[in-house]
Amino acid sequence: MKYMKVLVSLSLTCILSTSIYLETANASGGETKSNVGITFKEPYKPDLKPDPDPRPDGPIEHDSGAVVLASGEKYTDVLTASVLANELDTSLLLTQKENISENTVKEIKRLNAKMIIVIGGTDSVSKSIEDKLSQYEVRRLGGLNRYSTSVKIAEEVRRLTGTDSKAVLVSGVDFPDIISISSFASLNKEPILITETSKLTKETADVISKWNISEITIGGGYRSVSKNIEADIKLSKVSRMGGIDRYETARIISENVRKLTGNTEDMVLVDGTNFPDGICINSLANLFKAPILLTKPESLHKTVVDEVENYGIQYAMIGGGYQSVTRNTESELRVENIERIYGDNRYDTAVKISQRYSNKTRPLGINQRAEWKN
Dihedral sign for Cα 173, 176, 177, 179, please.
Answer: positive
Its domain, for residue 182, covers 163-260
Give tens-digit pLDDT for 295-353: 999 999 999 999 999 999 999 999 999 999 999 999 999 998 999 999 999 999 999 99
Task: Examine residue 6 and state whether it is found in any structural domain, yes or no.
Answer: no
Which of 161, 194, 222 represents a domain boundary (last residue)? Answer: 161
The pLDDT-based confidence of 365 (bands split at 50, 70, 90) is confident
Q: Which residues contact 223 (CB under 8 A, 6 or more apart)?
A: 197
Give domain status of residue 367, yes or no: yes
pLDDT confidence band for 65 (50 / 70 / 90): confident
From 222, 237, 260, give the residue that closes a domain.
260
Judge if 144 and 175 occupy the same domain. Answer: no
Q: Note whether residue 3 is domain-resident.
A: no
Tell whether 256 and 267 lie within a shared domain: no
Query: The CATH number of the domain where 308 resides is what?
Result: 3.40.50
Q: Are residues 75 and 153 in the same domain?
A: yes
Using pLDDT thresholds of 50, 70 and 90, give the confidence band for residue 59: very low
Q: What is the CATH number of the domain that holds 217?
A: 3.40.50.12090
Enumerate residues 6+ apart whose C-beta is below 8 A from 28.
Answer: none
- 272 close to 301: Cβ distance less than 8 angstroms: yes
CB 208 within 8 A of CB 216: yes
Same domain, 139 and 170: no
pLDDT at residue 15, as a whole number = 33
**Side chain identity at 22, as an amino acid letter?**
L
Give the mean pLDDT of 185-193: 96
AA letter at 357? Y
Residues 84 and 190 in one domain: no
Quick one: how far is CA 249 from the chain centroid? 17
Do 19 and 131 have their domain in common?
Answer: yes
Position 53 scores a pLDDT of: 35
Flag whether pLDDT at 196 surpasses 60: yes
* Co-location of 170 and 305 in the same domain: no
Look at residue 50 and tell me whether its pLDDT is greater than 80. Answer: no
Handedness of CA 70, 321, 168, 45 (dihedral sign): positive
Final residue before a domain boundary, out of 161, 188, 221: 161
- Do residues 275 and 371 both lie within one domain? yes
Higher pLDDT, 37 or 41: 37
49 falls in which pLDDT band (50, 70, 90)?
very low
Look at residue 77 and tell me if it is in a domain: yes
pLDDT(206) > 80: yes
* pLDDT above 80: residue 70: yes
**23 and 101 co-located in one domain:** yes
Question: How many domains in the chain?
Answer: 3
Q: How many CB atoms lie within 10 A of CB 276?
A: 22
| Same-domain pairing of 235 and 189 | yes
Asked if residue 207 belongs to a domain, the reply is yes
Residue 74 and residue 135: Cα distance in Å, rounded?
26
- Is the model's pTM score more than 0.75? yes
Within a domain: residue 253?
A: yes
DSSP string computed for 55-100: -TTS----TT-EEEEEETT-HHHHHHHHHHHHHTT--EEEE-SS--
Q: Residue 80 domain-assigned?
A: yes
Residues 62, 186 within the same domain: no
Q: Is residue 320 part of a domain?
A: yes
pLDDT tens digits, 109-124: 999 999 999 999 999 9
Q: Where do the DSSP E strands lie in the chain?
A: 18-20, 32-33, 38-40, 66-71, 92-95, 115-119, 137-141, 166-171, 192-195, 215-219, 237-241, 266-271, 292-295, 315-319, 337-341
Per-residue pLDDT tens digits for 217-252: 999 999 999 999 998 898 989 999 999 999 999 999
Q: Are residues 282 and 216 in the same domain?
A: no
